[in-house]
Amino acid sequence: MPAYRYLLMLLVSWIIVLGFAGPVAAQHMRDISVPVRGQPNYEKSRLLGHWFEVARSKSRFEYDCHGVTADVELRDDSRLTLKIDCHKGSVSGPVLDIDSILVEVAPAIFEMRFVRFRAFGHQTAVVLWQAEEDSLAVLGSPSGEFGWVWSKSAIIDQASLDLGREKLVAAGYLKHGIRPVKH
């Protein structure tokens, strides 16, 4: 068998495996019987700004991502733009931009529509908790596809990191599945 046919078969096999493994892995990161509730009386303007992802659960759209940052901006049409910068392979690796539009469907609940990676479909992003001074935010998805702890600072103290992780655990995420993200 020519080498290119073998490589093509290998690539197709990996695409099939990753296509099925992503959703399965996500479901095992969160007990979906636990309800996901958004922060009451939430104002979406609190989510605006530059964030550092300091912890997360496994996610198929952040596979092998390091030093992840997220920028949330207000659009002219009242929706939000979410731009995630993922460094592939290492903190100094090449940047993969994961762009999406956040459409608020209820206070603290957003439909996340991917721009380039439409294969990820639409995801629901819920602001589970945010610090009063907006220095830390915890977001998750009912499907368990992702769980994020975002900070306005790349380096946070252990107590703040633990608090963010506790908020994800309270939403059904498995504690051992929430990993710190280095910057």
Predicted pLDDT of residue 83: 97
Rg (CA), the chain: 17
pLDDT tens across 87-107, in order?
999 999 999 999 999 999 999
pTM, full prediction: 0.84
3-state secondary structure the chain: CCHHHHHHHHHHHHHHHHHHHHHHHHHCCECCCCCCCCCCCCCHHHHCEEEEEEEECCCHHHCCEEEEEEEEEECCCCCEEEEEEEEECCCCCCEEEEEEEEEEEECCEEEEEECCCHHHCEEEEEEEEECCCCCEEEEECCCCCCEEEEECCCCCCHHHHHHHHHHHHHCCECHHHCEECCC
- What is the rounded average pLDDT of the residues 28-35? 91
Between 35-39, 113-117, 135-139, 144-148, the lowest mean confidence (pLDDT) is in 113-117
Of 51, 52, 22, give the one whose Cα is nearest residue 181: 52
Of 121 and 108, more confident: 108
- What is the rounded average pLDDT of the residues 11-36? 58
Predicted pLDDT of residue 23: 42
pLDDT above 60: residue 41:
yes
pLDDT above 90: residue 171:
yes
pLDDT above 90: residue 115:
no
pLDDT above 70: residue 3:
no
Write down the mean pLDDT value for the chain.
Answer: 87
- What is the rounded average pLDDT of the residues 166-175? 97
Torsion, Cα 149 151 155 158, to 10 degrees, reads: -50
